[in-house]
Chains A and B, each alone.
Chain A
Amino acid sequence: MANADCIVIQGSNMAECHPVGFQWVAEAKARGARVIHVDPRFTRTTAIADKHVPIRAGSDVVLLGALINYVLSNELWFDEYVRAYTNASYLISEDFQDTEDLNGLFSGYDPEKGGYDLSSWGYQTRPHEGASGQSPEHGEEVSDHAEGESHGSGGPPAAAEPLRDESLQDPNTVFQILKRHYRRYTPEMVREACGISEEDFDYLARSITENSGRERTTCFAYAVGWTQHTLGAQFIRTAAILQLLLGNMGRPGGGIMALRGHASIQGSTDIPTLFNLLPGYLPMPKVELQSSQEYINSIASKQQKGFWANADTYAVSLLKAWWGDAAQPENDWAYDYLPRLTGPHGTYQTLTAMLRDEVEGYFILGQNPAVGSANGRMQRMGMSHLKWLVVRDFSLIESATWWKDGPEIESGELRTEEIDTEVFFFPAATHVEKSGSFTQTQRLLQWRHQAVTPPGEAESELKFFYEFGQKIRERLADSDDPRDRPLLDLTWDYPLHDDGDPDAESVLAEINGRFLTGPDAGKPLSSYAQMKGDGSTAGGCWIYTGVYADKVNQAARRVPGKDQDEIAAEWGWAWPANRRILYNRASADPQGKPWSERKKLVWWDEEAGRWTGKDIPDFLVDRAPGTVAPEEAGGAAALDGDDPFIMQADGKGWLFAPKGMVDGPLPTHYEPQESPVRNPLYAQQPNATRELFPRWDNLSAPSEGEPGAEVYPFMFTTYRLTEQHTAGGMSRWLPYLAELQPEMFCEVSPELAAERGLEHNGWATLVSPRAAIEAKVMITERMRPLQSGGRTVHQIGLPYHWGVGGEAVVSGDAANDLMGITLDPNVHIQESKVGLCDIQPGRRPRGTELVELVKKYQQRAGLDLETGNVRVTDPQAEVEENR
């Protein structure tokens, strides 16, 4: 980021939530970069930005779409980059119909399923010569809801040669479709939908276009302000399209920075804690995939371009790492040992299953769902249906004590003596009390050495799970039940330290992988390209291969910045292969020369016949720029010399996503589940494929134009503060941090305060269809009402760190209690950045009166299960009307 000429921070409060990473924004600014903060609130990030662009929460696709339109209609795209490195010239199926044609929906929508058949979104293709007779299909037949995330970083499989029109003139080219799709995203529309003035839009548009091209680069940074929406994944897609058009991907100071929350949240998706992923973004097998071959075919085809074609080597090496000698060709590499998905099993689906008494036990580690997850009441009620609950944390967090001092005990909805859940608490070691690695936002693994031993009974996760596994295996030792084989056959042999802690480096070595046979047997792999699908290699996470190359913990390297160049390749280790900028082949032109001296990163060395440069080239090191790969080639061998996006099935950056997104190949603006305005762009109001949870404990507020909308008239949005950490488990128990932000508060504009009679530092009660909470009032000009949809829209800011309980140094009502559960269909993330509520002065009622208050509001608004839960708001009728 330090190399950027312009930084747009949108959907992130980077200075507050990622203050350490923010040093690079500060550095860029010191070097002269322009920093723009697009956010509903004026935050500490805004305070040192050059410009604040206030936006109505949830309208980001309109703004970004208008920037795309600005680039396209003013001919400001980076032409050479776009033609060579993106799929702009590819022809899309004749059957494809855009939202322009269907007034807000794409072709293939099935109202019954609430999802799309993706087949009409595919490329026009001609089959490879010699390929089998089956017709190459880019689109999937049906998109079910677990589909979106089942393709990790690789994108979905695709084969066959797409048809192209290099002139970009064919109406079916991606380029022309893009132009048509974003035509209605105008500055006027931005004013109308986002509440952003045309001057501010112009400033933003000029800033990013003037700071893009050969000589200059612009970067975007986002965090959960983009992801936590019913179309969050599409927010990011919109930015990706814009950055591809401007030629800002794979280049220094470019890109889209996904800022992650916890120190190793990146690590927790690489080696995932998610239900639908295996390590290295391999998808979790689905129940219908009966063999490892079917599974691997579902990930990638051997004919497709790029490194996903080697998915078999990654998957088999993983199975070998987990089950060692028990994984053999005869038992299909123990593929049957893997659990398989029968549908989405995300945290919210699990929650509803709990409420149906279908879940017996629950482990909570590093999480505090009673405070930190949407619809807190549902979370706590769900836990009360469990037989047992294990909480591993530093302190007795609210998720461990809701049964005695939670809000439902106070309101009388739960009675301690009637709760059958057995709660176990295990004290956890902190990060300084154990060794291991953090993988941060930039994919950089940094090793932590244990500084002190954990106090009392606290222990590391590694020790806990190792011993837990040992105990289970001891119990099952005599079992001949086949279902116990996966546990008994696990490789579960780590060297132990004196204190009984397994050696964390040995786990890193297992993740890195090693040769199992041949002359190098036992030696660590140095690159994932060495992985084999024949069982001769093992590796726990293919993208991490190389972190333990030469038996050296590469993540523990700490050569100071002053002793190396700016890339700092010897500080820690970044996946993959210690590359610091992904897809950096794109930092050079198609001929392999840097786009400019100022932005040079990697280039083709003609004499040596190799790619070289400051960073490790993210490309086949000897693949010359002009190479045209033979048609019959597959995988990495099929990459042409100008295919920088080596993980994509066609080697190109996708302006149009023929596969992989379940809610549309092009980002399209839909209003949030609860919105104070009608969708100004289409008759279709919300995302028609969002995941709904129509339940009486998860009612939605009516959006503008629906009956009862006036009952919950104000938007609210939730966020973090620097001083506290997420649901508070790591900060509200520490007086040094707790005293810095001791009480739950809400931020309101002076205008809203006047309208509702709120007093600064007094109390306010906020009521949503799910709950009512109280908060101290902070009246500030940092909150500003916006004009949108022909009305004044007030946004209320709510930090979500506090929870009700008796153990923390500071406690308070939880903002997430107000939130409902409605999810993005691609990644199953809840929409917790936008909701509707009312606000009134004074404290909330106590006891049963609180429950009554929430009910009274629901009745006044006439809420039922239908409210807000209609998928299609009848675009067709609208079309007829216009005729």
Chain B
Amino acid sequence: MSAEPKDGNPTSDAHYDHPHSRRGFFTDTSICIGCKACEVACKEWNRNPADGDYSILGSSYDNTGALGADTWRHVAFIEQDSQRIEQARESGRKLVSLGMPQVGAPASGSSVASGTGSAGGGCGSGGCGSASSSDSGPTPEFRWLMSSDVCKHCTNAGCLDVCPTGALFRTEYGTVVVQDDICNGCGTCVAGCPFGVIERREDGLVDTPASREMPDTVRKPQDGVAQKCTLCYDRLKDDETPACAKTCPTTSIKYGQREDLLATAQQRVAQLHEQGMTEARLYGANPNDGVGGTGSIFLLLDEPEVYGLPPDPRVPTADLAHTFKRAGVAMAGMALATAAAFVAGGRR
């Protein structure tokens, strides 16, 4: 379980005869315009129900709130004043000047920064030094961050690890998908995800929301079934780009081979650093983080917590061996104690 794949490709665990390259997203939040077209395209394609209660959240322009069983893309909106921007820059600068993992040739992808707080992101062959020492330029008075969140498709996927029915599986593209006809709705995976992505669908039928009549085939009973982003597995099968990436007007959401996306992401971080935006950093790119890196990589402009992302995600099963060992010791102790009790009782 959750043994680290030697080549960093989680599909090698899954023993596919014809391994595809690992696919993923690179979400560049620095060019996101918060249009939410990804949210809508995702729901349209996957026929997910509307799940809002049609009330305003008072959370900037975000009225979606969070990822869930019916919402597989969620755009966060964060309004920041200059003080907060300066803090973000400073924290980014620290990541860089710590001399944290620097990236050589993009293809190596070996020591990529992640959002664990221990990494400042990749820099191209130009090196990162310039960014850390250069002047960041005037700090803007105000900024509005937008970021489209999605399932991370972890290298070590907690949901997959804990699924007792085999409903969750690793696809040939290295993604993690629920088979809703196998899922029994036990909900173990919900606790297994360190990002809080997967949830159970509470309502009964899946129905498209338009008032226009739709064929019955789109109404599928899915009561209680766990659901999350499939990285549009069905579209991938047809060599199509996932719906969210396809619809994104500014290419903030990029889809492709993870290796290529990682290289693009590292170049982009380096570019932003050169422009003085030391706050730019990658999230999910570090294979040494608690989930072994993620299939969905993000370029963030502040610390992950600001976007509602865990700073140090850790797959719960990572500690399984350790836990078992401890449990074993505990059980042995209990057995000993019980035996001792009997022994002691027998003496009475």
A567 at the interface (CB under 8 A from B): no
**In the complex, what residues of B have CB within 8 A of residue A778's CB?**
56, 58, 60
Within 8 A of A (CB), among B208-227: 209-213
**In the complex, what residues of B have CB within 8 A of residue A15's CB?**
33-35
| Inter-subunit contact B35/A780 (CB<8 Å) | no
Chain B CB within 10 A, most for which of A16, A23, A739: A739
| Inter-subunit contact A736/B249 (CB<8 Å) | no
| Inter-subunit contact B54/A742 (CB<8 Å) | yes
Within 8 A of A (CB), among B183-236: 209-213
- Chain B nearest CB, measured from A807 CB (Å): 9
| Inter-subunit contact B43/A22 (CB<8 Å) | no
Within 8 A of B (CB), among A37-66: 42, 44-48, 52
Q: What's the Cα separation between A761 and B58 when bound, in Å?
A: 5
Q: What's the Cα separation between A810 and B53 when bound, in Å?
A: 10
B81 at the interface (CB under 8 A from A): yes
Identify which of A23, A42, A735, A740 contacts B64 (C-beta below 8 A). Answer: A740
| Inter-subunit contact A782/B144 (CB<8 Å) | yes
A776 at the interface (CB under 8 A from B): yes
**In the complex, what residues of B have CB within 8 A of residue A776's CB?**
56, 58
A19 at the interface (CB under 8 A from B): yes
Name the residue of chain B whose CB is nearest to the CB of A721: B61
| Inter-subunit contact A739/B56 (CB<8 Å) | no
| Inter-subunit contact B250/A22 (CB<8 Å) | yes
Name the residue of chain B whose CB is nearest to the CB of A14: B33
On whether A47 and B144 interact (CB within 8 A), knowing A722-B35, A739-B51, the answer reads yes
**In the complex, what residues of B have CB within 8 A of residue A608's CB?**
none
Within 8 A of A (CB), among B171-186: none
Residue interface bits B25-65, CB-to-A below 8 A is 1, else 0: 00000111111110110011000001110111010110110
**In the complex, what residues of B have CB within 8 A of residue A733's CB?**
210-211
| Inter-subunit contact A20/B249 (CB<8 Å) | yes
Name the residue of chain A whose CB is nearest to the CB of B213: A455
On whether A736 and B50 interact (CB within 8 A), knowing A15-B33, A47-B33, the answer reads yes
| Inter-subunit contact A47/B51 (CB<8 Å) | no
**In the complex, what residues of A have CB within 8 A of residue B55's CB?**
742-743
Q: What's the Cα separation between A374 and B266 when bound, in Å?
A: 50
B324 at the interface (CB under 8 A from A): no
Identify which of A22, A734, A737 contacts B33 (C-beta below 8 A). Answer: A22
Residue interface bits B229-267, CB-to-A below 8 A is 1, else 0: 000000000000000000001110000000000000000
| Inter-subunit contact B54/A47 (CB<8 Å) | no
| Inter-subunit contact A780/B211 (CB<8 Å) | no
Chain B CB within 10 A, most for which of A15, A721, A736, A776: A736
| Inter-subunit contact A741/B33 (CB<8 Å) | no
Q: What's the Cα separation between A16 and B144 when bound, in Å?
A: 14
Residue interface bits A708-746, CB-to-B below 8 A is 1, else 0: 000000000000011100000000011111111111010
Within 8 A of A (CB), among B1-41: 30-37, 39-40
Q: What's the Cα separation between A22 and B142 when bound, in Å?
A: 22
| Inter-subunit contact A42/B142 (CB<8 Å) | yes
Name the residue of chain A whose CB is nearest to the CB of B268: A30
B143 at the interface (CB under 8 A from A): yes
- Chain A nearest CB, measured from B271 CB (Å): 9
A contacts with B, residue count (CB < 8 A): 43
A760 at the interface (CB under 8 A from B): yes
| Inter-subunit contact B249/A23 (CB<8 Å) | yes
- Chain B nearest CB, measured from A50 CB (Å): 9
Name the residue of chain A whose CB is nearest to the CB of B42: A736
Name the residue of chain A whose CB is nearest to the CB of B34: A44
Q: What's the Cα separation between A23 and B20 when bound, in Å?
A: 31
On whether A19 and B37 interact (CB within 8 A), knowing A736-B50, A781-B79, A782-B79, the answer reads yes
B146 at the interface (CB under 8 A from A): yes
Name the residue of chain B whose CB is nearest to the CB of A762: B58
Chain B CB within 10 A, most for which of A16, A22, A47, A737: A47
Name the residue of chain B whose CB is nearest to the CB of A456: B213
Identify which of B32, B40, B251 contacts A736 (C-beta below 8 A). Answer: B40
Name the residue of chain B whose CB is nearest to the CB of A739: B52
| Inter-subunit contact B39/A734 (CB<8 Å) | no
| Inter-subunit contact A47/B34 (CB<8 Å) | yes
| Inter-subunit contact B212/A455 (CB<8 Å) | yes
| Inter-subunit contact A723/B36 (CB<8 Å) | yes
Identify which of B39, B40, B144 contacts A42 (C-beta below 8 A). Answer: B144
On whether A44 and B146 interact (CB within 8 A), knowing A740-B63, A809-B54, the answer reads yes
- Chain B nearest CB, measured from A539 CB (Å): 35
A328 at the interface (CB under 8 A from B): no
Q: What's the Cα separation between A738 and B54 when bound, in Å?
A: 7
Q: What's the Cα separation between A30 and B271 when bound, in Å?
A: 10
Identify which of A45, A456, A740 contacts B36 (C-beta below 8 A). Answer: A740
**In the complex, what residues of A have CB within 8 A of residue B32's CB?**
48
| Inter-subunit contact B33/A48 (CB<8 Å) | yes
**In the complex, what residues of A have CB within 8 A of residue B52's CB?**
735, 739-740, 742
Q: What's the Cα separation between A15 and B36 when bound, in Å?
A: 12
| Inter-subunit contact A26/B31 (CB<8 Å) | yes
- Chain A nearest CB, measured from B143 CB (Å): 7
| Inter-subunit contact A760/B209 (CB<8 Å) | no
Within 8 A of A (CB), among B80-124: 81
On whether A740 and B39 interact (CB within 8 A), knowing A20-B249, A735-B209, the answer reads yes
**In the complex, what residues of B have CB within 8 A of residue A42's CB?**
142, 144
A395 at the interface (CB under 8 A from B): yes
Q: What's the Cα separation between A115 and B122 when bound, in Å?
A: 64
Identify which of A456, A735, A745 contacts B50 (C-beta below 8 A). Answer: A735
**In the complex, what residues of A have CB within 8 A of residue B54's CB?**
738-739, 742-743, 809-810
Identify which of A16, A22, A736, A782 contacts B209 (C-beta below 8 A). Answer: A736
Q: What's the Cα separation between A761 and B59 when bound, in Å?
A: 9
- Chain A nearest CB, measured from B343 CB (Å): 66
Q: What's the Cα separation between A736 and B70 when bound, in Å?
A: 11
| Inter-subunit contact A44/B35 (CB<8 Å) | yes
Q: What's the Cα separation between A571 and B251 when bound, in Å?
A: 21
Q: What's the Cα separation between A776 and B59 when bound, in Å?
A: 12
| Inter-subunit contact A736/B44 (CB<8 Å) | yes
**In the complex, what residues of A have CB within 8 A of residue B31's CB?**
26, 29-30, 48
**In the complex, what residues of B have CB within 8 A of residue A52's CB?**
142
**In the complex, what residues of A have CB within 8 A of residue B37's CB?**
19, 722
Identify which of B33, B43, B63, B210 contacts A742 (C-beta below 8 A). Answer: B63
**In the complex, what residues of B have CB within 8 A of residue A781's CB?**
79, 81, 142
Q: A738-B54, A761-B58 are in contact. List 14 more A-B contacts (CB 8 A).
A: A15-B35, A19-B35, A30-B31, A48-B31, A52-B142, A395-B211, A736-B209, A739-B50, A739-B52, A740-B39, A740-B63, A743-B54, A776-B58, A809-B209
Shortest 6 CB-CB contacts between residues of A and residues of B: A739-B52, A761-B58, A735-B209, A735-B50, A15-B33, A742-B54
18 chain-A/chain-B pairs, Cβ below 8 angstroms: A15-B35, A16-B33, A20-B249, A26-B250, A29-B31, A45-B33, A47-B34, A48-B33, A733-B211, A735-B52, A735-B210, A736-B43, A737-B40, A738-B50, A740-B40, A743-B55, A809-B209, A810-B54
